[in-house]
A and B are shown apart, each in its own frame.
Chain A
């Protein structure tokens, strides 16, 4: 039972990692830019949702109505934010070395954190959702409604994204742009707009992850640091693979609670459980430098 209980909690946490990692991979796959500010976009999304829900509840709307209105609204707001971010900050440095983008997004993360601290204060806050505090007991295993919402939400979003990339014109254009920017441009695909759209989608996914994460964590300007672990998931998954990101996120989420619960009993040194996900990532990178589900091809000269 204990194992199953740990596993459920781990899977829920892992879904959040997976969702954030999805955002990383979406951007990387299409633009080969690495967005280190993904966690901070998640943080802003959570704050936007918090503000919207608080506003709606203050007007006497029920929590259900407030939540189900705030969820799509936040995603739309954050999509616009992502689009604007790409247009203003990322587009001018298209074609620059990857390193420039890494530093730029890290720096943007710092700016967002300071801005969030200024707007919403640095006090940790909690987001009230319809799921808060509800529990389902299933054969001795206690299932938090929050965890269930995370798992269902992640599965739903993954399916939507899959269908989007497979069946819509824009989705196919995005795949084309990711495979060869120049060729896609010659085929009449507006590559720059496509990039901005990818940023918009990625920001919306991050916002959804933020809303799903908020009930099991607290909202504060530093909650974006969860992005680092999600980053580890994206790297383990191979950074170019959408299913890889989700699977690796689930793996990381599952490893952590077990390392914490059994680490000291298994004789691991203190501190190892805290960094178990990073150790796992380093091992994977050393054994398979291109990740588990890699998309790297040998260049023909």
Chain B
């Protein structure tokens, strides 16, 4: 076990806690950059989907995992990002990277416009308001045909970077990877900053955050803006990945999948977004593989994928509320302090529900 002797507060908010992190993250970086050279085409494509989901997951994590505001409608912001990105690229002719950023800003604009009135609500009311927002936006996608192509949807061309037309899966893989790294580092930095720590303070206790001088409304709107910006960028990438966007692509199921991702990965940790993205991106492939083995009476259930997603979510909430990342931390601690591990270390606190009717 590594003991870190802390001599200053700055140590608490360093980008890398110790040299070991630098080594392992460096190694990971080399592996993901070298992966397309070794992996078959299909896996490269699937990996880029993982990266896009991870970006979207980070977006939702900023809001739900770090600020404690649940959103059941984040698919709408993915959709806004996707349509805006496609609009800027094809109709306006903005170069790819700028269009992606602008898609993020459009999405953030919607997010902030929604957040300003919505922040009077808390908890479940906010969650249901985001859900209603997503349903309304889906109708807008269907009926604003001049921009979105209506029910028929629009085809999305492969990205073109300042005249360099990308062709293979590997090119797109690298684009997604770079975006993911930028977003991850940006979010990591945000969480180390005063704003990020204010968000976490609000998540843990709104009243104590307020009494420490944190401007609650401003911080929440900031969280909404940043979250929807990141989600919008992910939407722009997703448009290229899907190659065809239509309103049904951004329905309630996608919102739930995003939630599933961050819960299964581990709420309140950036690592969780990545674990969750891997699960959500590979589960459909895994299911279609398993289907061939299972008897047809089970394999051909229409809602099988949704059911399996739901079952995984139920099991995680009941048995491992800290997600995959939490499980990994427990396992690591078990080996680090080997014979001394106590189950109570991570025991959930039993408590009576704090009523939300008292504000």
Q: Are B301 and A118 in contact (CB under 8 A)?
A: yes
* Closest-CB distance, B303 to chain A (whole angstroms): 4
B350 in the interface (beta carbon within 8 A): yes
- Interface residue ranges of A17-55 to B (CB < 8 Å): 31-32, 34
- The answer to whether B125 touches A114 (Cβ under 8 A) is no
Q: In the complex, are the beta carbons of B314 and A235 less than 8 A apart?
A: no
B143 at the interface (CB under 8 A from A): yes
Instruction: Known pairs A282-B129, A297-B358; list 19 more (Cβ under 8 Å).
Output: A34-B124, A93-B318, A93-B321, A98-B356, A103-B259, A104-B318, A106-B259, A107-B309, A107-B311, A110-B256, A110-B313, A113-B303, A114-B304, A114-B310, A228-B135, A282-B136, A286-B117, A296-B357, A297-B357
A-B contact pairs, 5 of them (CB 8 A): A96-B348, A98-B356, A102-B124, A107-B260, A114-B310
Contacting pair B357 A240 (CB below 8 A): yes
B142 within 8 A of A: yes
CA distance A290 to B358 in the complex (A): 11
* Residue among A103, A104, A181, A269 with max Cβ neighbours from chain B (10 Å): A103
Which of B129, B298, B359 interacts with A285 by CB under 8 Å?
Answer: B129
Bound CA span A34–B312, Å: 20
Rounded to whole angstroms, the CA-CA distance of A181 and B207 in the bound complex is 22
Query: Cβ of B127: which chain A residues have Cβ within 8 Å of it?
Result: 99, 102
- Interface size on A, as a range, is 35 or more
A102 x B70 contact (CB < 8 A) = yes
Complex interface bits, A43-78 against B, C-beta within 8 A gives 1, otherwise 0:
000000000000000000000000000000000000
Q: A182-B352, A296-B357, A298-B359 are in contact. Are A110 and B129 (CB under 8 A)?
A: no
- Rounded to whole angstroms, the CA-CA distance of A295 and B356 in the bound complex is 10
B141-167 at interface with A (beta carbon < 8 Å): 142-143
> Which residue from B139, B302, B317 sits with its C-beta under 8 Å from A275?
B139
A110-B133 CB under 8 A given contacts A102-B70, A103-B263: no
A295 to B355, CA, bound (A): 12
9 interchain residue pairs of minimum CB distance: A114-B307, A110-B310, A107-B313, A271-B139, A114-B303, A278-B132, A299-B358, A107-B310, A271-B143
Q: A114-B303, A299-B359 are in contact. Are A104 and B135 (CB under 8 A)?
A: no
Tell me the nearest residue of chain B to A99, going by C-beta: B70
Least CB distance, A43 to chain B, in whole angstroms: 12
B318 touches A235 (CB 8 A): no
Shortest Cβ distance from residue A272 to the other chain B in the assembled complex, whole angstroms:
8
Q: A111 and B120 in contact (CB under 8 A), knowing A32-B356, A102-B127, A271-B142? A: no
Q: Which residues of B contact A94 (CB under 8 A)?
A: 353
B302 CB to nearest chain A CB (Å): 5
Kindly report which residue of chain A lies nearest to residue B307, judged by CB atoms: A114
Q: Which residues of B contact A221 (CB under 8 A)?
A: 302-303
Which residue, B125, B135, B303, B312, has most C-beta atoms of chain A within 10 A?
A: B303
Give complex CA distance A279, B72 in Å.
16
Known: A99-B70, A282-B129. A117 touches B303 (CB 8 A): yes
Bound together, the chains give a CA A240 to CA B136 distance in angstroms of 26
Query: A residues within 8 A CB of B356?
Result: 32, 98
Whether B314 pairs with A111 at a CB distance below 8 angstroms is yes
| CA–CA, A122 and B279, complex, Å | 27
**B354 CB to nearest A CB, Å:** 9
Most buried by B among A99, A115, A296, A299: A99
| A28 CB → nearest B CB, Å | 8
- Tell me the smallest distance from the CB of A191 to a CB of chain B, in Å: 9
Q: How far is the CB of B290 from chain A (nearest CB, A)?
A: 14
Q: A105-129 interface mask toward B, CB cutoff 8 Å, 1 = contact, 0 = none? A: 0111111011101100010000000
* Chain A minimum-CB-distance residue to B309: A110
CB proximity to B under 8 Å, residues A241-289: 269-272, 274-275, 278-279, 281-282, 285-286, 289
A89 touches B318 (CB 8 A): yes
B94 contact set on A, CB distance < 8 A? none
Residue B121 at the chain A interface, CB threshold 8 Å: yes
Is the beta-carbon distance between A98 and B124 smaller than 8 angstroms? yes
Which of B317, B348, B358 sits near A107, CB closer than 8 Å? B317
**B15 smallest CB distance to A (angstroms):** 29
| Interface membership of A188, Cβ < 8 A | no
Q: Is the C-beta of B13 less than 8 angstroms from some C-beta in chain A?
A: no
CB of A190 closer than 8 Å to a CB of B: no
Given contacts A89-B318, A94-B353, A98-B356, contact A117 B301 (CB under 8 A): yes
In angstroms, Cα B122 to Cα A175, docked, is: 24
Expressed in whole angstroms, the minimum distance between the Cβ of A21 and any Cβ of chain B is 12
Expressed in whole angstroms, the Cα–Cα distance for A106 and B122 within the complex equals 19
Docked CA distance A227–B180 (Å): 37
CA of A297 to CA of B358 in the docked complex: distance in angstroms? 5
Chain B residues near A108 (CB, 8 Å)? 310, 314
